[in-house]
Chain A
Amino acid sequence: MSDAATAPEIHARASGSRRLAFLAAALAIAALPMVLTGNYWQTNLTVCAINVLLALGLDFILGYAGQLNLGQSAFYGLGAYVSTLLITKLGVPFWVAFAAGVAFSGIAGMILALFAVRLRGHYLAIASLAFAVITYQILLNWISLTQGPLGIYAIPPPPSIAIPGLPVIDFRNPVALFYLVAGFTLLVYFILDQLVRSPIGETLTAIREDDISAASLGINAAAWKVFAFGVGAAVGGAAGCFYATFVGTLVPDAFFITESFTILSMVIVGGMGTLIGPVWGAILLTLLPELLRDLGDLRLIVYGLALTLVVLFMPGGLVQAAHLVRAKLGFAKAAL
């Protein structure tokens, strides 16, 4: 970055390896359902993809804009309920309902941020927690609309896509649904990656480090925080839409505030402020309890323990750990 002449070269090399990484990720997504066959694993793969999406959304707000959002469970739930209600009550086509769910969550995030931007870290954390509690209670108590704790059943999968000359893509097939969710997640990752490496990303980071200094440079810190909240909440909403159609049933308990803490654990364990960190954090924390099936209900104890230990001993999460390992192996330069 320091040498102007070599900067474009570095950038070109970086974007070249980035393209390779995206290609590798796409190939991995394509190959996974073939390697991990069987209903059990294919279900887990889709859960992983949904959790990665949730973690990416939270990380954009927490890791890049520096706002502790404990309301991600609410945006997740709003996306799920808005899209599902539009489909089941009004018969709106899936993709229109999907867009509406995403937009609704994004707008809710921006409204919450408008309330909260004047507040510093802890106030925002509590305001977003309050938002999560209110949303959960409304989902639970507005029985005429959401059927409360009884839940909504038989939510249809996305409609099949029939392209002439190709086999029909039927989303009742779990592999097709996984490809849809994982493909969308990869797309979101790509967009966020572009965003955080653009001047917008630098602006957000400046606000995260010191919003008063950023404001003194003419940056409208409040507006950018609202923007970050809108993007992160919309991504959470998209995850909700997929969750509803994937599981087929909706109950408010899926969007209890505990879900916010779960998503937070994924981001922190992976490494907040990087995009790749939350991806690995989400995958690890989704699969780890599955691998340790005998633990049963102790899943959340593992999450809590991981969250605390990572903050205390490795605040950069898996990403920091990977860097340390690489440095130990003598590739310190390559790691940078």
Chain B
Amino acid sequence: MTATIVAQQAINGIVLGSLYVLVALGLTLIYGVLVQINFAHADFVTLGAFSAYFFMHLLGGGYLASIGVALIVGAVLGWLINVSIFAPLRHKGSELLPLIATIGVSVMMQNAMLAWFGPVPYAFETPYSQQVFRIAGTFFTAQSVIIIVVSLATIALLYAFMKFTFLGKALRAVAQDRETAGLMGINPNYLIMLTIVISSALAGMAGAMLAPVLVLTPFAGASVIVKAFAIVIIGGFGNVEGTILAGLLVGLIESFTTQYLDPGWIDIVVFGLLLLMLAFRPTGLIAERREENV
């Protein structure tokens, strides 16, 4: 019996974890090229979720297509925040101003969604939430299969893009040394824009997959993003492998905390771990050799 519970919670943890990975990867990619945090990333997740919801429930679209819609909404939001916040502030050379500006955007977006959509949770039903599979006493829905498959495919595609395409290599070059990359004929502004668009598209997409699993409210993204921050730090800022590992870890912590302690303890356990990491291993799970630019 206990083994089944453990297996069941492991499945739940991996489903949650892969969604957290999608959200956290966006944050870490942006940090990699820009050394900035987009605080409104959370609200891109939420707006992605709402656009998928309305695409399905108002326009009668299919669920898989609605994930695509959320992806596009996320990408557009990413383009907008780059044009309006990150690009104009990049030249002011302040470390904190862009972060503070995106906090403003986040507060604005969250409360605008609250005004439009109201605080009552939306029931995001997909045809896949009802289909249940049972294997050896554990059960999972087709929805969780979709989440794991889409997340894995996205992460693999992203990985291949970064490793094998010219753009991906250029992106990593910008992350390592923006000025030298610029001297090699790479346009850093274009690549930074591209990174923010890709990251935000991931966030929107994650929203469309999260909403049927969690509750869909204007604060759905905010509850995920604080965990995504923790994941990014536990995994090491800008470190893709570390982020994936940490994302799955946090998903597992969450499901096992729910099972053996109390859901109220999730944030306390996750953030306690975060503070411990900051105290003892601020480079993250997988330490990366990095030249510090002093």
Question: Chain B: which residue is nearest A260 at the CB level?
Answer: B103
Tell me, rounded to whole Å, the shortest Cβ–Cβ distance linking B184 to chain A: 27
State whether the Cβ of A190 lies closer than 8 Å to any Cβ in chain B. no
Binds A, one of B72-80, B152-160, B163-171, B269-277: B269-277
Q: Describe A's contact surface by its main secondary structure.
A: helix
Interface band, chain B: 35 or more
Tell me, rounded to whole Å, the shortest Cβ–Cβ distance linking A305 to chain B: 5
Total number of residue pairs linking A and B with CB closer than 8 Å: 128
Contact B115 A123 (CB under 8 A): no
Contact A115 B268 (CB under 8 A): no
Contact A261 B107 (CB under 8 A): yes
Contact A311 B104 (CB under 8 A): yes
State whether the Cβ of B288 lies closer than 8 Å to any Cβ in chain A. no
B residues near A (Cβ < 8 Å) are 31, 35-37, 84-85, 88-89, 92, 94-101, 103-112, 114-115, 226, 229-230, 232-233, 237, 262, 264-265, 267-268, 271-272, 274-275, 278-279, 282, 294
In angstroms, Cα B264 to Cα A309, docked, is: 36
In angstroms, Cα B106 to Cα A177, docked, is: 35
> Can you list 24 pairs linking A and B with CB atoms under 8 Å apart?
A68-B96, A115-B278, A121-B95, A126-B274, A127-B274, A127-B275, A130-B229, A130-B275, A131-B271, A133-B226, A141-B262, A258-B107, A297-B111, A297-B114, A304-B105, A304-B106, A304-B110, A304-B111, A306-B104, A307-B101, A311-B104, A312-B84, A312-B85, A315-B94
Interface band, chain A: 35 or more
Contact A137 B264 (CB under 8 A): yes
Tell me, rounded to whole Å, the shortest Cβ–Cβ distance linking A109 to chain B: 14
Contact B115 A264 (CB under 8 A): no
Given A134-B267, A212-B294, CB of A301 within 8 Å of CB of B111: yes
**Residue in B31, B95, B105, B108 with the greatest tally of chain A CB atoms within 10 Å:** B108
Given A304-B104, A312-B101, CB of A126 within 8 Å of CB of B233: yes
State whether the Cβ of A274 lies closer than 8 Å to any Cβ in chain B. no
Tell me, rounded to whole Å, the shortest Cβ–Cβ distance linking B218 to chain A: 11
Q: Mark A103-130, 1 if CB is under 8 A from B, else 0.
A: 0000000000001101111110111011
Q: Which of A122, A140, A268, A298 contacts B37 (CB 8 A)?
A: A122
In angstroms, Cα B265 to Cα A260, docked, is: 22
State whether the Cβ of A83 lies closer than 8 Å to any Cβ in chain B. no
In angstroms, Cα B100 to Cα A312, docked, is: 10
